[in-house]
């Protein structure tokens, strides 16, 4: 039960750290970024889609049926102009919001990579120390092929291997 309490304490601390990072990201937005996020949230909602659909159908019905003066007869040139204006303004605003979110995501990815690299370095050192302790105690250690696990991982070499592997796969798929 005590280990569960310790684990819960650790996970709560981690969750609080993540919440602080999220709050800093949200609170650090400029006024323009806040507006862009609000517009993107509204335009990307079902409410907006339904309201816009009702307005478009009403516009077309009123102009097609001609109950009153037809201010935009078929093929609805004015409606196309209104929708073009909407798209011309909504698109860059949504892209600004997406760009900000991409920057936040990139920061998180960099943090994840840094933590993973540190964890790998710690694990390598633990394996080396464990082998030394085993040797000192006269306990048989790793088989020769497993000793490679004690070597430092070279991220540049791994990236090179990934790139070469992906390029070979892409060339084979394209051929």
pTM to 2 decimals?
A: 0.66
Does residue 41 sit within a domain? yes
pLDDT above 70: residue 1: no
Q: Are 86 and 31 in contact (CB under 8 A)?
A: no
Does residue 2 sit within a domain? no
Domain residues for 24?
A: 8-174
Does residue 47 sit within a domain? yes
Provide the number of structural domains found in the chain.
1
Q: What is the share, in percent, of the chain residues with pLDDT greater than 70? A: 93
Note the pLDDT of residue 83.
96
Mean model confidence pLDDT for the chain = 87
CA 122 to chain centre: 27
Does residue 111 sit within a domain? yes
Residue 130's Cβ-count burial label (10 Å; 0-12, 13-18, 19+) is middle
**Residue 1: other Cβ atoms inside 10 A:** 5
Does residue 91 sit within a domain? yes
Average the pLDDT over each of 33-37, 88-92, 126-130 and give the range with the smallest value: 126-130
Q: From start to end of the chain, where are the E strands? A: none
Note the pLDDT of residue 148.
72
Does residue 169 sit within a domain? yes
Max Cα distance, the chain (Å): 99
Does residue 154 sit within a domain? yes
- Write the pLDDT tens digit of every residue in 47-89: 999 999 999 999 998 888 876 778 888 899 999 999 999 999 9
Does residue 3 sit within a domain? no
Tokens 């933590």 correspond to what residue? 115
CA 22 to chain centre: 13
Note the pLDDT of residue 160.
84
Residue 59 CA: distances (Å) to CA of 62, 71, 80, 85, 171 = 5, 10, 11, 16, 52
Alpha carbons 47 and 134: distance in angstroms, whole number? 65
**Better-scored residue on pLDDT, 114 or 147:** 114
């Amino acid at each position: 039960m005590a280990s569960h309490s310790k684990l819960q304490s650790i996970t709560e601390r981690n969750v609080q750290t993540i919440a602080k990072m999220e709050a800093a990201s949200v609170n650090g937005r400029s006024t323009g970024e806040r507006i862009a996020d609000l517009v993107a949230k509204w335009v990307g909602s079902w409410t907006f889609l339904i309201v816009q659909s009702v307005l478009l159908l009403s516009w077309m019905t009123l102009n097609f049926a001609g109950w009153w003066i037809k201010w935009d007869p078929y093929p609805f040139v004015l409606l196309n102009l209104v929708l073009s204006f909407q798209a011309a303004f909504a698109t860059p605003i949504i892209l600004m919001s997406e760009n900000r979110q991409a920057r936040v995501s990139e920061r998180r990815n960099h943090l994840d990579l840094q933590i993973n690299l540190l964890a790998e370095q710690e694990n390598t050192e633990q394996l080396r120390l464990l082998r030394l302790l085993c040797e000192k105690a006269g306990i048989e250690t790793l088989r020769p092929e497993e000793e490679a696990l004690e070597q430092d991982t070279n991220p540049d070499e791994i990236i090179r291997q990934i790139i070469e592997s992906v390029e070979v796969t892409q060339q084979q798929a394209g051929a």
